Protein backbone atom coordinates (compact mmCIF):
# COMPACT_ATOMS: atom_id res chain seq x y z
CA UNK A 1 0.00 0.00 0.00
CA UNK A 2 1.31 3.42 -0.96
CA UNK A 3 0.64 6.28 1.47
CA UNK A 4 -0.24 9.58 -0.19
CA UNK A 5 1.61 12.38 1.60
CA UNK A 6 1.10 16.15 1.48
CA UNK A 7 3.84 18.57 2.51
CA UNK A 8 3.02 22.10 3.61
CA UNK A 9 5.61 24.86 3.69
CA UNK A 10 6.85 23.26 0.47
CA UNK A 11 9.09 26.18 -0.49
CA UNK A 12 11.01 26.36 2.77
CA UNK A 13 14.26 24.63 3.69
CA UNK A 14 12.53 21.85 5.56
CA UNK A 15 9.69 21.59 3.07
CA UNK A 16 12.05 20.95 0.17
CA UNK A 17 13.91 18.33 2.18
CA UNK A 18 10.63 16.62 3.09
CA UNK A 19 9.64 16.47 -0.58
CA UNK A 20 12.97 14.87 -1.40
CA UNK A 21 12.58 12.39 1.46
CA UNK A 22 9.10 11.38 0.28
CA UNK A 23 10.46 10.75 -3.21
CA UNK A 24 13.21 8.53 -1.78
CA UNK A 25 10.95 6.51 0.53
CA UNK A 26 9.40 3.17 -0.34
CA UNK A 27 5.66 3.03 0.26
CA UNK A 28 5.19 6.80 0.01
CA UNK A 29 4.05 9.13 -2.75
CA UNK A 30 3.98 12.93 -2.79
CA UNK A 31 0.35 13.78 -3.46
CA UNK A 32 0.26 17.51 -2.65
CA UNK A 33 2.55 20.44 -1.93
CA UNK A 34 1.22 23.57 -0.21
CA UNK A 35 2.57 27.08 0.28
CA UNK A 36 1.15 30.39 1.50
CA UNK A 37 -1.59 31.83 -0.76
CA UNK A 38 0.60 34.84 -1.60
CA UNK A 39 3.68 32.76 -2.44
CA UNK A 40 5.39 33.32 -5.78
CA UNK A 41 5.96 29.55 -5.97
CA UNK A 42 2.32 28.65 -6.63
CA UNK A 43 2.03 26.53 -9.75
CA UNK A 44 5.66 25.40 -9.65
CA UNK A 45 6.41 21.69 -9.87
CA UNK A 46 7.19 20.48 -6.33
CA UNK A 47 9.88 18.09 -7.51
CA UNK A 48 11.72 20.75 -9.48
CA UNK A 49 11.43 23.07 -6.48
CA UNK A 50 13.09 20.43 -4.27
CA UNK A 51 15.75 19.64 -6.83
CA UNK A 52 14.60 16.06 -7.52
CA UNK A 53 13.19 16.58 -11.01
CA UNK A 54 9.70 17.08 -12.33
CA UNK A 55 7.08 14.87 -10.59
CA UNK A 56 3.82 16.39 -11.79
CA UNK A 57 2.67 17.81 -8.44
CA UNK A 58 2.04 21.56 -8.54
CA UNK A 59 2.37 23.78 -5.49
CA UNK A 60 -1.02 25.11 -4.34
CA UNK A 61 -1.95 27.91 -1.95
CA UNK A 62 -4.62 26.20 0.14
CA UNK A 63 -4.83 22.84 1.86
CA UNK A 64 -8.57 22.86 1.18
CA UNK A 65 -7.84 22.58 -2.55
CA UNK A 66 -6.07 19.22 -2.13
CA UNK A 67 -7.56 17.76 1.06
CA UNK A 68 -9.09 14.84 -0.85
CA UNK A 69 -5.78 13.98 -2.54
CA UNK A 70 -3.69 12.85 0.45
CA UNK A 71 -3.76 10.47 3.43
CA UNK A 72 -1.28 12.24 5.74
CA UNK A 73 -0.16 15.87 5.99
CA UNK A 74 3.39 16.61 7.16
CA UNK A 75 3.56 20.06 8.74
CA UNK A 76 6.79 21.72 9.90
CA UNK A 77 5.60 25.32 9.54
CA UNK A 78 4.50 27.82 12.20
CA UNK A 79 1.95 27.55 15.03
CA UNK A 80 -0.78 29.65 13.39
CA UNK A 81 -0.55 27.79 10.10
CA UNK A 82 -0.36 24.39 11.78
CA UNK A 83 -3.42 25.14 13.88
CA UNK A 84 -5.41 26.13 10.78
CA UNK A 85 -4.24 23.01 8.94
CA UNK A 86 -5.23 20.83 11.90
CA UNK A 87 -8.80 22.09 11.66
CA UNK A 88 -8.97 21.17 7.97
CA UNK A 89 -7.42 17.75 8.51
CA UNK A 90 -9.71 16.97 11.45
CA UNK A 91 -12.80 17.89 9.44
CA UNK A 92 -11.65 15.67 6.56
CA UNK A 93 -10.40 12.78 8.72
CA UNK A 94 -6.81 13.11 7.53
CA UNK A 95 -3.84 12.05 9.67
CA UNK A 96 -1.02 14.46 10.49
CA UNK A 97 2.69 14.44 11.26
CA UNK A 98 3.64 17.69 13.01
CA UNK A 99 7.11 18.99 13.80
CA UNK A 100 6.09 22.60 14.43
CA UNK A 101 7.40 24.11 17.67
CA UNK A 102 6.90 27.40 19.50
CA UNK A 103 3.18 27.09 20.32
CA UNK A 104 1.83 29.47 22.94
CA UNK A 105 -0.22 27.87 25.72
CA UNK A 106 -3.42 29.10 24.05
CA UNK A 107 -2.39 27.75 20.64
CA UNK A 108 -1.39 24.43 22.17
CA UNK A 109 -4.79 24.07 23.84
CA UNK A 110 -6.61 24.89 20.61
CA UNK A 111 -4.42 22.49 18.64
CA UNK A 112 -4.93 19.67 21.15
CA UNK A 113 -8.69 20.10 20.87
CA UNK A 114 -8.63 20.23 17.08
CA UNK A 115 -6.69 17.00 16.53
CA UNK A 116 -8.68 14.73 18.85
CA UNK A 117 -10.62 13.03 16.00
CA UNK A 118 -7.52 12.04 13.99
CA UNK A 119 -4.28 10.08 14.23
CA UNK A 120 -1.48 12.53 14.98
CA UNK A 121 2.25 11.92 15.32
CA UNK A 122 3.83 15.00 16.89
CA UNK A 123 7.42 15.35 18.03
CA UNK A 124 9.91 18.10 18.68
CA UNK A 125 12.44 16.10 16.68
CA UNK A 126 11.90 13.26 14.18
CA UNK A 127 15.52 12.13 13.98
CA UNK A 128 15.99 8.49 14.91
CA UNK A 129 19.23 9.44 16.68
CA UNK A 130 17.60 12.14 18.79
CA UNK A 131 14.81 9.80 19.85
CA UNK A 132 17.40 7.23 20.88
CA UNK A 133 19.01 10.02 22.93
CA UNK A 134 15.69 10.60 24.71
CA UNK A 135 15.78 6.96 25.81
CA UNK A 136 19.41 7.21 26.91
CA UNK A 137 18.73 10.44 28.83
CA UNK A 138 15.94 8.76 30.77
CA UNK A 139 18.27 5.88 31.68
CA UNK A 140 21.14 8.20 32.65
CA UNK A 141 18.96 10.44 34.81
CA UNK A 142 17.53 7.46 36.70
CA UNK A 143 20.98 5.97 37.31
CA UNK A 144 22.78 9.20 38.24
CA UNK A 145 19.82 10.69 40.10
CA UNK A 146 20.39 13.62 42.42
CA UNK A 147 24.18 13.12 42.50
CA UNK A 148 24.79 15.28 39.43
CA UNK A 149 24.14 18.74 38.04
CA UNK A 150 22.34 18.65 34.69
CA UNK A 151 22.84 21.18 31.90
CA UNK A 152 21.31 21.20 28.40
CA UNK A 153 23.14 22.97 25.56
CA UNK A 154 21.68 23.54 22.10
CA UNK A 155 22.80 25.38 18.95
CA UNK A 156 20.89 26.16 15.77
CA UNK A 157 21.14 28.32 12.65
CA UNK A 158 20.52 32.05 12.74
CA UNK A 159 17.03 31.72 11.23
CA UNK A 160 15.47 29.70 14.07
CA UNK A 161 12.86 31.86 15.79
CA UNK A 162 12.16 30.02 19.06
CA UNK A 163 14.48 29.30 21.98
CA UNK A 164 15.29 26.99 23.61
CA UNK A 165 14.64 24.54 20.80
CA UNK A 166 11.71 22.19 21.05
CA UNK A 167 14.17 19.31 21.18
CA UNK A 168 16.04 20.84 24.12
CA UNK A 169 12.77 21.34 25.97
CA UNK A 170 11.77 17.74 25.26
CA UNK A 171 15.11 16.62 26.64
CA UNK A 172 14.40 18.69 29.74
CA UNK A 173 10.98 17.07 30.11
CA UNK A 174 12.52 13.58 29.84
CA UNK A 175 15.09 14.46 32.50
CA UNK A 176 12.60 16.09 34.85
CA UNK A 177 10.13 13.20 34.56
CA UNK A 178 12.86 10.64 35.25
CA UNK A 179 13.86 12.57 38.38
CA UNK A 180 10.34 13.24 39.61
CA UNK A 181 10.62 16.99 39.08
CA UNK A 182 8.41 19.54 37.33
CA UNK A 183 10.37 21.23 34.56
CA UNK A 184 8.36 24.42 35.01
CA UNK A 185 9.74 24.66 38.54
CA UNK A 186 13.35 23.66 37.97
CA UNK A 187 14.31 25.00 34.51
CA UNK A 188 16.88 27.82 34.39
CA UNK A 189 17.05 29.53 31.00
CA UNK A 190 20.41 31.30 30.92
CA UNK A 191 22.36 32.94 33.73
CA UNK A 192 23.64 36.46 34.27
CA UNK A 193 25.10 38.46 37.15
CA UNK A 194 25.42 37.28 40.73
CA UNK A 195 23.40 34.07 40.49
CA UNK A 196 24.68 32.45 43.67
CA UNK A 197 25.63 28.81 44.09
CA UNK A 198 23.94 26.35 41.77
CA UNK A 199 20.84 24.57 43.06
CA UNK A 200 21.36 20.87 42.27
CA UNK A 201 17.65 20.38 41.58
CA UNK A 202 17.70 22.81 38.67
CA UNK A 203 18.11 21.88 35.00
CA UNK A 204 20.00 24.55 33.09
CA UNK A 205 19.57 25.50 29.43
CA UNK A 206 22.07 27.31 27.20
CA UNK A 207 21.13 28.51 23.70
CA UNK A 208 23.36 29.45 20.76
CA UNK A 209 22.12 30.89 17.43
CA UNK A 210 24.31 31.46 14.42
CA UNK A 211 25.49 30.43 11.00
CA UNK A 212 23.95 27.39 9.35
CA UNK A 213 24.01 24.94 12.28
CA UNK A 214 21.30 22.36 11.59
CA UNK A 215 21.01 21.30 15.21
CA UNK A 216 23.41 20.38 18.04
CA UNK A 217 22.25 19.13 21.44
CA UNK A 218 24.33 18.05 24.43
CA UNK A 219 23.17 17.10 27.91
CA UNK A 220 25.88 17.10 30.58
CA UNK A 221 25.59 15.20 33.86
CA UNK A 222 28.26 16.84 36.01
CA UNK A 223 29.50 15.33 39.26
CA UNK A 224 32.60 15.89 41.39
CA UNK A 225 35.44 14.17 39.56
CA UNK A 226 33.59 13.07 36.44
CA UNK A 227 30.92 13.98 33.94
CA UNK A 228 28.78 12.09 31.45
CA UNK A 229 27.68 13.78 28.21
CA UNK A 230 25.10 12.60 25.69
CA UNK A 231 25.35 14.47 22.39
CA UNK A 232 23.51 14.52 19.09
CA UNK A 233 24.68 16.59 16.12
CA UNK A 234 22.68 16.87 12.92
CA UNK A 235 24.57 17.72 9.75
CA UNK A 236 21.57 17.58 7.42
CA UNK A 237 17.82 18.18 7.67
CA UNK A 238 17.40 14.88 5.85
CA UNK A 239 17.73 13.06 9.17
CA UNK A 240 14.58 14.84 10.39
CA UNK A 241 12.79 14.46 7.05
CA UNK A 242 13.40 10.71 6.80
CA UNK A 243 12.00 10.26 10.29
CA UNK A 244 8.93 12.36 9.47
CA UNK A 245 8.19 10.31 6.36
CA UNK A 246 8.65 7.12 8.37
CA UNK A 247 6.19 8.51 10.91
CA UNK A 248 3.70 9.40 8.15
CA UNK A 249 3.70 5.87 6.77
CA UNK A 250 3.30 4.49 10.31
CA UNK A 251 0.58 6.87 11.50
CA UNK A 252 -1.56 6.24 8.41
CA UNK A 253 -2.29 2.77 9.81
CA UNK A 254 -3.12 3.93 13.35
CA UNK A 255 -6.42 4.62 15.04
CA UNK A 256 -7.28 8.15 16.12
CA UNK A 257 -4.98 9.25 18.91
CA UNK A 258 -1.80 11.12 19.72
CA UNK A 259 1.56 9.47 19.08
CA UNK A 260 5.22 10.48 18.90
CA UNK A 261 8.46 9.06 17.53
CA UNK A 262 8.94 6.87 20.59
CA UNK A 263 5.81 5.03 19.43
CA UNK A 264 6.96 4.90 15.80
CA UNK A 265 10.34 3.46 16.82
CA UNK A 266 8.84 1.17 19.50
CA UNK A 267 11.02 2.70 22.22
CA UNK A 268 8.38 2.79 24.95
Residues 112 and 7 in one domain: yes
Domain span at residue 135 reads 128-234
Residues 27 and 64 in one domain: yes
Residues 38 and 113 in one domain: yes
Q: Which residues pair with 209 in a beta bridge?
A: 156
Residues 169 and 246 in one domain: no
Residues 111 and 7 in one domain: yes
Which CATH number does the domain housing residue 136 bear?
Answer: 3.30.360.10
d(CA 244, CA 8): 13
Residues 114 and 153 in one domain: no
Residues 87 and 140 in one domain: no
Residues 139 and 115 in one domain: no
Residues 135 and 225 in one domain: yes
- Cα dihedral sign, 234-236-242-245: positive
Report the interhelical angle of 166-179 vs 128-144 (nearest 10°): 30
Which CATH number does the domain housing residue 56 bear?
Answer: 3.40.50.720
Q: What is residue 52's predicted lDDT score, i.e. its pLDDT? A: 94
Task: Give me the tens of pLDDT residue by residue for the chain, a chain 268 residues long.
Answer: 899 999 999 999 999 999 999 999 999 999 999 999 999 999 999 999 999 999 999 999 999 999 999 999 999 999 999 999 999 999 999 999 999 988 999 999 999 999 999 999 999 889 999 999 999 999 999 999 999 999 999 999 999 989 999 999 999 999 999 999 999 999 999 899 999 999 999 999 999 999 999 999 999 999 999 999 999 999 999 999 999 999 999 999 999 999 999 999 998 7
User: Do the strands 187-189 and 95-98 form a parallel or antiparallel pair, or are they unpaired?
Assistant: unpaired
Kindly list the catalytic residues: 156, 160
**pTM of this structure:** 0.83
Number of domains in the chain: 2
Residues 200 and 100 in one domain: no
Residues 153 and 46 in one domain: no
Residues 109 and 186 in one domain: no
Amino acid sequence: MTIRIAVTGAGGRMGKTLIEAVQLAEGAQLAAAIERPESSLLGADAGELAGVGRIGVSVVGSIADVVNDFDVLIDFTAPEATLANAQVCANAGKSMVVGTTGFSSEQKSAFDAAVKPIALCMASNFSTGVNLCFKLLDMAARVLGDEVDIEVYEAHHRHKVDAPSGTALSMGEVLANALGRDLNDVAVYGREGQTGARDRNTIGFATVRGGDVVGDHTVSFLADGERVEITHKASSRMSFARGAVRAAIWVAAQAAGRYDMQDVLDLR
